[in-house]
């Protein structure tokens, strides 16, 4: 099978492609296009199975392809739709895309990364760290989960949802990351988690608090 035929046959399952601001971590407040892939390897997305899943506090709907601009795409069409979402919203040439999920590394490959780079996108990825990668992303955010294998142990930004009691936060800071963020777990005890996060970061550098400002602003 020729390369062109392979590109045409490959299909990416996408939950949604939408414009917003990055609400978490280092790039908080930056305008972005989010490309959310379907599927995760730590939870199947069904509420009835959440309690028994490896990750039981996910706040994201990544099931199916029924979100805004969602669908099954070949490479060319996926990049084309992504460009349209950016160009329809922003005039800036500083194109910023966040590949997220679910777990995007279940689907993202070198062909997609190469194609997005040719369109001058700065490519950030948000991953749970279970899958190693050598793909040429511009920014890697790893958010490990305490009951899952943690295989990708280097990147640009480490974001630990807090509290997760199995993590030794004092040892983690020796890993190969530029920035270390604690993000309060979004649950019924959210206010308590926020205060715990702030207090821990005050006395334990280089940890810095990360807040989901998009939720505070009431946007996606």
SS3 assignment, position 16:
strand
CA–CA gap between residue 67 and residue 71 (Å, rounded): 8
- Per the residue annotation, which of 89, 122, 211, 214 is the catalytic one? 214
Verify whether residue 211 is a known catalytic residue.
Answer: no
The single residue listed with the structure tokens 């990049």 is 79
- Per the residue annotation, which of 58, 157, 180, 201 is the catalytic one? 58
Verify whether residue 91 is a known catalytic residue.
Answer: no
- Per the residue annotation, which of 24, 40, 103, 127 is the catalytic one? 40
Verify whether residue 9 is a known catalytic residue.
Answer: no
- Per the residue annotation, which of 60, 76, 109, 119 is the catalytic one? 60
**Residues in a beta bridge with 157:** 141, 179
- Per the residue annotation, which of 55, 177, 181, 201 is the catalytic one? 55
Residue 186 and residue 163 in contact, taking contact as beta carbons nearer than 8 Å: no
E-strand ranges in 43-178 read 71-73, 95-100, 121-127, 139-142, 157-162
Verify whether residue 27 is a known catalytic residue.
Answer: no
- Per the residue annotation, which of 34, 37, 62, 96 is the catalytic one? 34
- Per the residue annotation, which of 103, 126, 156, 157 is the catalytic one? 126
The single residue listed with the structure tokens 């939408």 is 18
Rounded to 10°, the helix 110-118/75-89 angle is 40
Verify whether residue 55 is a known catalytic residue.
Answer: yes
Verify whether residue 57 is a known catalytic residue.
Answer: no
Verify whether residue 58 is a known catalytic residue.
Answer: yes
Verify whether residue 60 is a known catalytic residue.
Answer: yes
- Per the residue annotation, which of 9, 57, 59, 76 is the catalytic one? 59
Catalytic positions, written as ranges = 34, 40, 55, 58-60, 126, 214
């Amino acid at each position: 099978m020729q390369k062109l035929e392979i590109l045409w046959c490959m299909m990416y399952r996408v939950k949604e492609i939408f414009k917003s601001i990055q609400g978490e971590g280092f790039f908080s407040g930056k305008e972005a296009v989010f490309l959310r892939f379907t599927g995760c390897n730590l939870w199947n997305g069904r509420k009835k199975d959440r309690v028994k899943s490896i990750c039981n506090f996910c706040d994201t709907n990544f099931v199916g392809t029924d979100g805004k601009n969602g669908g099954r795409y070949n490479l060319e069409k996926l990049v084309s739709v992504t460009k349209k979402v950016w160009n329809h919203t922003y005039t800036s040439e500083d194109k910023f895309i966040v590949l997220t999920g679910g777990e995007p590394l279940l689907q993202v490959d070198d062909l997609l990364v190469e194609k997005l780079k040719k369109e001058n996108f700065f490519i950030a990825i948000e991953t749970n760290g279970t899958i190693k990668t050598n793909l040429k992303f511009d920014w890697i955010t790893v958010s490990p989960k305490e009951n899952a294998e943690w295989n990708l142990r280097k990147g640009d930004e480490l974001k630990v949802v807090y509290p997760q009691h199995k993590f030794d936060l004092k040892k983690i800071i020796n890993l190969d990351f530029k920035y270390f963020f604690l993000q309060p777990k979004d649950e019924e005890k959210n206010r308590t988690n926020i205060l715990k996060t702030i207090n821990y970061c005050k006395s334990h550098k280089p940890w810095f608090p990360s807040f989901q400002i998009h939720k505070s602003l009431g946007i996606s």
